[in-house]
Chain A
């Protein structure tokens, strides 16, 4: 096989069994890689109802045919499993040396099942695969862990590790690499911790066989040059995603105090301009010439890598208006392996519960010391952290007293940093995201606001969400390529089929990519339905209830909120365009059209239980 390695590394931790499994070209062509592989493997192999934190859950690290090659923004890796925070499909991606090393070791994915008796790590050096005891690493943070492992195995290795939060099963623990490259928001770090797996160290020295290496190198160079010549390249390099703080403040979409408002009185203290004055260096993923991680020094003089999401969720969303303090909170999350978005949302939720006296706590919005304490407690699952480390949905169910009205999540996953009191398109994107509320797939908010259609619920919103889901959630997540060249600099999608053809020899059109995206979306949806059975409900595709019930109270959009009946019609429109029924479940026809005949038979059996 060319372009792909054609080989999965399967590791059963319970029996310490390692299998190198070749897979078919047909499988590769149909599912491409990354998220495509992940959902097909989960569907085929995971028993419905499997405990996400039990030994049978599958933890997967996946590349695609694009990964690790010397072409633009190819240093990403997908991590996927059944999620312990949502109970449905979970994935995320991170950029570090781990992805390229995995490809060079000769594997396209690692599939891990079972559970170790004692904490250990996996060492992969090309064909050699070892499981090594890691008692001395257990209890260490991700920074210390990676430092020690790199000292033993070399600085050019890729290291993926969990911190204390993964070990203690915080439901939104992530997997960390290179001090701050985090992936797997929906608790992928907790799945790793449940298997007592502290880290994976990967070192590869081989090259995947390519269909036309010369053409790929030439195209790679052209791509890098083209990116560098884009009009907004220099602007992007200065602030990366942080320019969005100022933009969201102006558009009243900056999550503030647990998403109760869209503007923050101290936004200037945490925005991209403030960051620019403090940036000491930048960091990025391998094979990228638009590196976007900006590093500043925190209140302790330690380095912290910032981007829009973590700054807002640990800043305005919890009432902290000082970038250095935000940087401190961000660094703690990265060290402990906590997802910054869910951590910020959980702290904001806890602060609101405390201010409303629904819990016995002295937390308040803006409480920097309290936020630090809660982060540590969530990573230990102790004190107040034992409750809030479950995520806001589960915490609100335990607290009761109406707190679910301001628990900001979809399907159990906390919302990323866009307030949608008046953005129905972005709300639909959160509602229908395949992992719960996340912006990774359909980030339509910039279009929605700039196009002057902010208050509309018409079909164009559903079209836009689907268009973005196909491109970002389908093509990029399966190629395993970063979405930023396209969305930020206008690097055309047409480049990607060319890269894939040079790497694999297989011709894909962009239309093929969109069909692939639809296939992946349909199967992920079928997976959710299979897991939820009779409990599946179209209301699971609703955005947080606060955006319907509680109007904005500040700023130019005072009084505005989403309209439930209009949202419901928009959702209906979305389902129709996707070929899903009015419960949001793909119809038989749709499944067949997408080449999912076999899967549709199983789905039908499940549907007998779904009303």
Chain B
């Protein structure tokens, strides 16, 4: 199955903006994030300065925050899009 990852905000300059993964079998949000972290050469368990799983970054699956799903254990399905949303500037 195909999973797309899109990254917004300043961290995208460090870890990239888009990833496409072909996955066989089951995969969770956490596992995809770890993949992104390792492919982009980040410290293990980190995306830029953000520790995966800490509550200062938003993760959306097809636009829905994972807090409304099963958190990092949310299972992704074919053609799902995972968005990594850094706290924004602007206010």
Could you tell me which A residues sit within 8 Å of B by CB distance?
231-232, 235-236, 239-244, 246-248, 250-252, 308, 439, 443, 445-447, 449-455, 487-488, 555-557
Question: Is the Cβ of A450 less than 8 Å from the Cβ of B90?
Answer: no
On chain B, the residues within 8 Å of A235 by CB distance are 9-10, 13, 89
Chain A residue at minimum C-beta to C-beta distance from B48: A231
B54 to A: closest C-beta gap in Å: 10
The chain A residue with its CB closest to the CB of B61 is: A556
Chain A residue with the shortest CB-CB distance to B12 = A235
Cβ of B65 and Cβ of A454 under 8 Å apart? Answer: yes
Q: Are A247 and B88 also in contact (CB < 8 A) when A455-B68, A556-B64 are?
A: yes
Query: Quick check: A452 and B67 within 8 Å, CB to CB?
Result: yes
Known: A232-B10, A449-B58, A455-B67. 18 other contacts (CB 8 A): A231-B10, A235-B10, A235-B89, A236-B89, A243-B89, A246-B8, A247-B9, A247-B88, A251-B65, A251-B85, A308-B90, A452-B55, A452-B58, A453-B67, A455-B68, A487-B91, A556-B60, A556-B64
In whole angstroms, how far apart are the Cα atoms of A279 and B43 in the complex? 35
Task: Find chain B residues with CB under 8 A from A246 CB.
Answer: 8
Considering the chains assembled together, what is the distance between the CA atoms of A240 and B58 in angstroms? Answer: 20
Known interface pairs A235-B10, A250-B8; A446-B63 also in contact (CB < 8 Å): no
Q: B62 at the A/B interface (Cβ < 8 Å)?
A: yes
List of B residues within 8 angstroms of A242 by Cβ: 90
Q: Within 8 Å CB of B64, what residues of A?
A: 556-557
Residue B41 lies at the interface, judged by CB distance under 8 Å to chain A? no
Which chain B residue shows the least CB distance to A416?
Answer: B91
Does B73 have its Cβ within 8 Å of any Cβ on chain A? no
The 10 tightest CB contacts between A and B, nearest first, are A443-B91, A556-B63, A244-B90, A235-B10, A247-B88, A452-B67, A241-B90, A556-B64, A450-B87, A446-B87
A488: chain B residues within 8 A (beta carbon): 89-90
Q: Contact mask B8-19 → A, CB, 8 Å, 1/0?
A: 111001000000
Q: A235-B13, A251-B85, A449-B85 are in contact. Are A243 and B57 (CB under 8 A)?
A: no
B49 / chain A contacts, CB cutoff of 8 Å = 231
Cβ–Cβ < 8 Å partners of A452 in chain B: 55, 58, 65-67
Structural contact, B89 and A447, CB atoms closer than 8 A = no
Bound Cα distance from A251 to B89, whole angstroms: 14
Q: Does B86 contact A (CB under 8 A)?
A: yes
The smallest beta-carbon distance between A442 and chain B, in angstroms, is 9
Q: How many residues of B contact A (CB 8 A)?
A: 25
Which A-chain residue is minimally distant from B6 (CB atoms)? Answer: A250
Would A450 and B85 be within 8 Å (CB), given that A235-B10, A247-B9, A247-B90 are in contact? yes
- Asked if B83 is an interface residue, CB under 8 A from chain A, the answer is yes
Q: What are 14 residue pairs bridging A and B, where the CB atoms are less than 8 Å apart in the complex?
A: A235-B89, A241-B90, A243-B88, A244-B88, A247-B9, A250-B60, A250-B85, A443-B90, A446-B88, A450-B56, A450-B58, A452-B65, A455-B68, A488-B90
Give the docked Cα–Cα distance between A198 and B58 (Å): 47
B36-72 vs A, CB cutoff 8 Å, 1 = contact: the mask equals: 0000000000000100000111101011111110000
Known contacts: A232-B10, A235-B9, A235-B10. The answer to whether A447 contacts B68 by CB under 8 A is no
For A557, what are the chain B residues with a Cβ–Cβ distance below 8 Å?
63-64
Give A378 to B66 CA distance when docked, in angstroms.
44
Closest A residue by C-beta to B86: A450
- From the candidates B57, B63, B68, B89, name the one contacting A450 in the complex (CB within 8 A): B57
A242 to B56, CA, bound (A): 20
CA distance A445 to B57 in the complex (A): 13
Is B63 a contact of A252 with CB atoms below 8 Å? yes
Give complex CA distance A443, B64 in Å. 22
A residues in contact with B10, CB < 8 Å: 231-232, 235
Q: Are B91 and A439 in contact (CB under 8 A)?
A: yes
User: A residues within 8 A CB of B65?
Assistant: 251, 449, 452, 454
Report the minimum CB–CB distance from B42 to chain A (whole Å).
14
Residues of B within 8 A of A232 (CB): 10, 89
